[in-house]
Amino acid sequence: MAVLKVRRYGDPILRRRARDIEAVTPEIRRLVDDMIDTMYDEVGIGLAAPQVGTSLRLMVVGDEEGRGAQALVNPAISEQGGTVTAEEGCLSLPGIFADVTRAQWVRLEAQDLEGRPVAITARGLRARVFQHEIDHLDGVLFIDRLDPVTRDRIKRRIKKEGFAEDVGHRAFAL
Ligand code: NI
């Protein structure tokens, strides 16, 4: 088990569409262990494989108390409803936070590490984490979902100041 380096905004892997996983190999199991270590080290509650440099459709999510962690293989949202706006951050954009509007609830379908189908209906923070991480698998970052004025302001700030570590805020990063 190891803590991996989290790729930051500007790294082209974050903009690529990740590939489906055809079989869970020992390498993928090792990657999951490392992703869980990395997520907890970064005080994140979700992490997608492209964020640690592997372009595969794989994500790990923590529970809201930060104890358990679950790996989801080839996740997809099959149903969603409502809209809700809340502040969001991303481990790949440290120190950047903005209000993002997303579906209020989602039904996520995926496989577990044994290849068994998993379906989870989630609302609240967990629904937000699922949507944020699936975006990562499609090469989408949360700043892409902001209005153009806010997005440009954030991009200019990153260009000028780089990333600041905003420790007090990190628990919200995905
Ligand atoms: Ni993120």
For 37-92, give the DSSP string: HHHHHTT-SEEEGGGGT--BSEEEEE-TTS--EEEEEEEEEEEEE--EEEEEE-TT
- How many CB atoms are closer than 10 A to CB 116? 9
User: Which residue segments constitute the domains of the chain, with CATH numbers given?
Assistant: 12-161 (3.90.45.10)
Q: How far is CA 28 from the centre of its chain?
A: 17
Out of 64, 133, 161, 165, the active site residue is 133
The rounded Å distance from CA 173 to ligand 1 centre is: 7
Q: How far is the CA of 6 from the centre of ligand 1 (A)?
A: 10
What gap in Å lies between CA 154 and CA 135, rounded to an integer?
A: 19
C-alpha distances (whole Å) from 101 to each of 11, 82, 88, 132, 143 are 25, 10, 10, 11, 11
pLDDT digits 0-9 by tens, 62-104: 876 656 899 999 999 999 999 999 999 999 999 899 999 999 9
Instruction: Quote the pLDDT of residue 174.
Output: 75
27 is catalytic: no
Using one digit for the tens of pLDDT, what is the confidence trace for 102-115?
999 999 999 999 99
Cβ neighbours of residue 113 under 8 Å, at least 6 residues apart? 24, 28, 29, 32, 71, 73
Instruction: Give residue 81 CA to ligand 1 midpoint distance, Å.
Output: 22
pLDDT of residue 45: 87
CB 104 within 8 A of CB 81: yes
- Beginning with the edge strand found earlier in the chain, give each strand of the sheet holding 105-111 in spatial order: 46-48, 58-62, 69-81, 105-111, 117-123
Whole-number pLDDT of residue 42: 82
pLDDT in tens, 5-56: 999 999 999 999 999 999 999 999 999 999 999 998 887 889 999 999 999 9
**Ligand 1 centre from 12 Cα, in Å?**
14
Q: How far is the CA of 119 from the centre of ligand 1 (A)?
A: 22
- Residue 97 Cα, ligand 1 centroid: separation in angstroms? 11
